[in-house]
Chain A
Amino acid sequence: AQTVTQSQPEMSVQEAETVTLSCTYDTSESDYYLFWYKQPPSRQMILVIRQEAYKQQNATENRFSVNFQKAAKSFSLKISDSQLGDAAMYFCAYRFNFGNEKLTFGTGTRLTIIP
């Protein structure tokens, strides 16, 4: 079974600084997707960024980027120029590619932005 581990229950960063959230996963598959979801206090789950395992290039979305290390099974999220609106729970998630869309989530990292 696939597992996703987020070893940082809480992180904090000064506004405008850069922070990196860690995620590791375990799978025997070679073709899969990885995701970062943001959950603000409103509880709404918002997709931040996704990475396809067969793509070597790291995904980026504006201030959000990932460092995908397939061999190490590591998938970290970097938030640049942190803003107050980035404060939220962040969940890393895994999904096998072929015909199976179930998501396996990590336990989450609570990110606090210090003004």
Chain B
Amino acid sequence: DAEITQSPRHKITETGRQVTLACHQTWNHNNMFWYRQDLGHGLRLIHYSYGVQDTNKGEVSDGYSVSRSNTEDLPLTLESAASSQTSVYFCASSDGRKGINYNEQFFGPGTRLTVL
């Protein structure tokens, strides 16, 4: 069965370190998204991609970067981790073509990141 996976599921790091969170989907979806979830804020969009070599900033992109070299993966990098980036991170993907699931995003299980 097609799925979307994230790794690691839990990560503890120190302030200033570079951290990369992986997202891998086997749906062959064009669109991929990264969100962060914080209490009182719901989920907020960090970056997104509508295809290979395409990346776009979301509403909370400062301190984060992404690159899309293939259809299946969209890694999220924190260049220099800060305590304010302690959060739960969700990756999602969607088809992008018209069809019965055209407008549905499928979410990964999330990564809990703690920055000390």
Contact = CB atoms under 8 A, between A and B. Distances in A.
- A and B associate: yes
Pairs of residues from A and B, 5 with the lowest C-beta to C-beta distance, nearest first: A45-B107, A105-B42, A105-B43, A107-B42, A43-B110
Contacts of A30: none
A9 B113 CA distance: 24
Interface stretch (A14-22, A59-67, A69-77, A95-103): A95-103
B8 interface: no
Interface residues of B, number: 22
Contact of A45 (B41, B45, B48, B90): B90
B105 A101 contact: yes
Interface string B31-55: 1010100001111110010000000
A42 B9 CA distance: 12
Contact of A106 (B31, B42, B96, B110): B42
11 contacts: A43-B109, A44-B109, A45-B43, A91-B43, A101-B33, A101-B96, A101-B105, A103-B43, A103-B105, A105-B35, A105-B44
Interface string A1-42: 000101000000000000000000000000001000000001
A105 B104 CA distance: 14
B19 to A, nearest CB: 19
A84 interface: no
Given A45-B90, A95-B103, A107-B41, A102 B58 contact: yes
A47 B96 CA distance: 17
B88 interface: yes
Contact of B104 (A6, A47, A108): A47
Contacts of B88: 43
B101 to A, nearest CB: 10
B43 to A, nearest CB: 4
Contacts of B5: none
A22 B93 CA distance: 27
Interface in B80-107: 88, 90, 92, 94, 96, 103-105, 107
